């Protein structure tokens, strides 16, 4: 009987040790996943000069899903790293991949609304002096009797160039490399500028802004510039 009790005690101790090891393993796995914010974050890309100066080979750069018809390419560049981390720390719901998907959709919708002269649509996605400039341009175009027949052919690349968090205000600068077919017609329908056959290669940097904690999930376009 004593041997049986001793044998059972050894089994219990062994099970406790195994359970402790399993718990430790699970805890380490959770830390590996949750302790380092990833979501859809990927390694930042380095510009050629930075890459050449790096002492060690850079980690492989992952791409956003190649299944999308308009591949975004890389996620963000090195100067945006600190800002992205700050925004992620302030807003646990922020996801880099989802943001870039939304930025591409906003790029298309804003351009199409501007080309069509749809002021109401623009006001949903654009704010500040950019909205004023867009509406002024639409007013001048309509006064001249001109209309645009532009078309976004493709977005070749979308990448976050910079990001920052000022208080509760997050701003992210996104570069869009795109091909746009641009045609302008007069009031009689005659083409006065542009071409129907060749697309124009454009390089734009758009700045999107959002207040962390706002009930409105949308990011507003607050600045535009041409990329280098």
Give me the pLDDT at residue 198, please.
87
Give me the pLDDT at residue 25, please.
36
Listed residue (149, 17, 173, 191) closest to 83, CA to CA: 173
Give me the pLDDT at residue 227, please.
86
At 211, give phi and psi (nearest 5°): -85, 120
Give me the pLDDT at residue 197, please.
85
Give me the pLDDT at residue 43, please.
33
CB-based burial label for 49 (10 Å; 0-12, 13-18, 19+):
exposed
Listed residue (36, 42, 127) closest to 81, CA to CA: 42
Question: How far is Cα 7 from Cα 10, in angstroms, rounded to an integer?
Answer: 5
Listed residue (89, 3, 77, 4) closest to 42, CA to CA: 77
Q: What angle do CA 61, 63, 66 make, to 5 degrees?
A: 155
Q: What residue spans define the domains of the chain?
A: 1-36, 43-226
- Domain 43-226, CATH number (from 3.10.450.240, 3.30.420.130, 3.50.50.60, 1.10.10.10): 3.10.450.240
Give the pairing of strands 200-211 and 169-181.
antiparallel
> How far is the CA of 68 from the CAs of 108, 146, 162, in angstroms?
15, 35, 24
Per-residue pLDDT of the chain (228 residues; tens, 9 = 90+): 544 344 434 544 344 343 343 333 333 332 332 223 322 233 333 333 343 334 443 333 333 333 333 333 458 899 999 999 999 999 999 999 999 999 999 999 999 999 999 999 999 999 999 999 999 999 999 999 999 999 999 999 999 999 999 999 999 999 999 999 999 999 999 999 998 788 999 999 999 999 999 999 899 999 999 987
Helix boundaries (H) for the chain = 2-34, 48-53, 81-90, 96-116, 119-125, 128-143
Give me the pLDDT at residue 195, please.
87
Q: What is the CA radius of gyration of the chain?
A: 26
At 133, give phi and psi (nearest 5°): -65, -40
55 token code pair: 């002492």
Listed residue (94, 95, 81, 97) closest to 46, CA to CA: 81
Question: How far is Cα 80 from Cα 63, in angstroms, rounded to an integer?
Answer: 17
Torsion of CA 129, 132, 138, 139, to 10 degrees: -140
């Amino acid at each position: 009987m004593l041997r049986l009790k001793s044998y059972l005690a050894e089994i219990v101790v062994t099970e406790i040790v195994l359970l402790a090891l399993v718990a430790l393993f699970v805890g380490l796995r959770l830390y590996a996943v949750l302790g380092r914010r990833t979501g859809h974050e990927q390694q930042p890309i380095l510009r050629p000069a930075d890459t050449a100066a790096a002492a060690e080979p850079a980690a492989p750069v992952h791409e956003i899903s190649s299944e999308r018809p308009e591949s975004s390419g890389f996620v963000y560049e090195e100067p945006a790293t600190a800002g992205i981390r700050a925004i992620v720390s302030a807003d646990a719901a922020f996801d880099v991949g989802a943001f870039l998907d939304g930025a591409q959709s906003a790029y298309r919708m804003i351009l199409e609304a501007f080309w069509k002269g749809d002021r109401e649509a623009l006001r949903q996605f654009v704010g500040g002096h950019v909205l004023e400039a867009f509406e002024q341009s639409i007013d001048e175009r309509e006064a001249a009797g001109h209309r645009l027949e532009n078309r976004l052919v493709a977005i070749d690349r979308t990448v976050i160039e910079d990001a920052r968090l000022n208080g509760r205000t997050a701003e992210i600068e996104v570069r869009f490399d795109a091909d746009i077919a641009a045609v302008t017609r007069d009031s009689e329908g005659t083409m006065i500028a542009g071409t129907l056959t060749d697309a124009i290669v454009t390089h734009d940097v758009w700045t999107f802004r959002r207040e962390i904690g706002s009930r409105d999930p949308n990011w507003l376009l607050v600045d535009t510039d041409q990329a280098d």
